[in-house]
Amino acid sequence: MGRQHWKKIWVGSAGNMVEWFDWFVYASFATYFAGAFFPSGNPTAQLMNTAGIFAVGFFMRPVGGWLLGRVGDRRGRKAALTLTVTLMSVSALLIAVAPTYDVAGYGGAFVLLVARLLQGLSVGGEYAASATYLTEASDPRRRGFASSFQYVSMTAGQLAGLGLLIILQHTLSDTALHDYGWRIPFAVGALGAAVVFYLRRNMLETEVYAEDTSHAAERGTLRALWQHRREAFLVIALTMGGTVAYYTYTTYLTKYLSNSAGLSKETATLVSFTALTVFACLQPLAGALSDRIGRRPLLITFAVGSTVLTVPVLTLLKRVNGYWPALGLSLLALVVVTGYTSINACVKAELFPTGVRALGVALPYALANALFGGTAEYIALWFKDAGIESGFSWYVAGCAAVSLVVYVTMRETKDLDLARVASREAPSVTTAS
């Protein structure tokens, strides 16, 4: 790829990193601020309250997917990406200054809820705008490789959050972290978003969008999306298993290792940080592999691995007693998940024509995340609170099994011309030849 293509990928990825830093630090620091917004009592109940608000943010994502997907198709990918990072900056700042329960009662929890709703709105549009932009901006022969940087940047954002958590754990006392230290990452996120806003103001539009000749009045409309409803339902189905597995082994992993396996918060955080570093490095390699052998083999490998390995991996993780066995099992799980994360952005973008691509990726993906990704942590904690924690393992495996059926029966997408994708050409669920 040329220098101009790398510049487009860099700018799109940099904003995505900040978006997901802000999104994930909520989960990473929840163990420290859960008690600040809710009455003291059962720590698991406090975590369930904060996890519930975390899930609420996901239910705002379909609204963000619709609104910002429409902006991306009608005004351009650049306009949508600039707007998403602005919303994320505001939401991070709100959390940074939110009053505690001792100061404002449940008023602080309300501010937290509003901030999460804004984050959900922003991320609901960010994923699709970023996926569409990275896919369209790349060389057609390297779309898998280029779009894999979406999850590189998403993981980099989470690593930045975990890295900051490790630094604060070693520089502040546990009391200080619970009192005020948890506010620091949200202030950092708000500042980072402001920087990316400046970068995105000067980003270049994709040639595929600039040269699109579809009727302007139909771009980004629900009516146009309805003409591609088979592809939209396909996005929901292929996302189901992947998003549950992804959030299980990323946002929930640290809590699982400390709250269920009994590892210290510091050890659990270090395990997550190391595993995610390796995970980020695997994304471009798997994306490049998909450009050679196709998207379906990687998706099928993920689904089979997740269906078969989830129960034993989570069972063994609950029994680990140190850093190395926890790291080994976490890496095994994330290697499997790579089959989905490295290419799911381009697969979804390849399903839709240019005039409805951003909305086509955004809305069904956001719906799938609201139903499955955003509720994964809450469901895990619900099973734990009910005394049947192993039930969550079977739930994750079951979701992967459903998606496996879709992967096996869908057609290949890697060789499609994005500028010529139409309803009759778009891949749908059919029997694989």
Cα–Cα distance for residue pair 111/241, rounded to 1 Å: 32
Q: Is the pLDDT of residue 427 over 50?
A: no
Q: Which of 104-108, 282-286, 375-379, 405-409 has the lowest mean pLDDT?
A: 104-108
Q: Which two tokens stand for residue 272?
A: 């997550």
| Average pLDDT of the segment spanning 67-95 | 91
User: In Å, how far from its chain's centre is CA 202?
Assistant: 25
Residue 109: count of CB within 10 angstroms of its CB:
20
Within 13 Å, how many C-alpha atoms sit on residue 34's CB side? 21
CA 334 to CA 332: how far, in whole Å? 6
270 exposed, middle or buried (CB, 10 Å; 0-12, 13-18, 19+)? buried
Report the C-alpha gap between 119 and 121 in whole angstroms. Answer: 5
**Residue type at 250?**
T
pLDDT number for residue 429: 42
Secondary-structure percent of the chain, ordered helix, strand, coil, rounded to 5: 80, 0, 20
In 320-377 the beta strands, taken as DSSP E runs, fall at none
131 and 346 Cβ atoms separated by less than 8 Å: yes
Token pair of 224 as six digits = 């146009």
Query: C-alpha angle with apex 181: 180 to 182, nearest 5 degrees?
Result: 95
Q: What sign does the CA torsion over 9, 157, 398, 233 have?
A: negative
CB 276 within 8 A of CB 334: yes
Which residues are bridge partners to 410 per DSSP? Answer: 429
The segment with the largest mean pLDDT, out of 2-6, 16-20, 67-71, is 67-71
pLDDT at residue 69, rounded to an integer:
93
Mean predicted confidence (pLDDT) in 384-396: 94
User: Mean pLDDT throughout 213-235?
Assistant: 88
Q: Over the chain, what is the mean pLDDT?
A: 87
CB 7 within 8 A of CB 206: no
Of 32-41, 143-152, 303-312, 401-410, the poorest mean pLDDT is in 32-41
Whose tokens are 């790291």? That residue is 327
Q: What is the pTM of this model?
A: 0.84
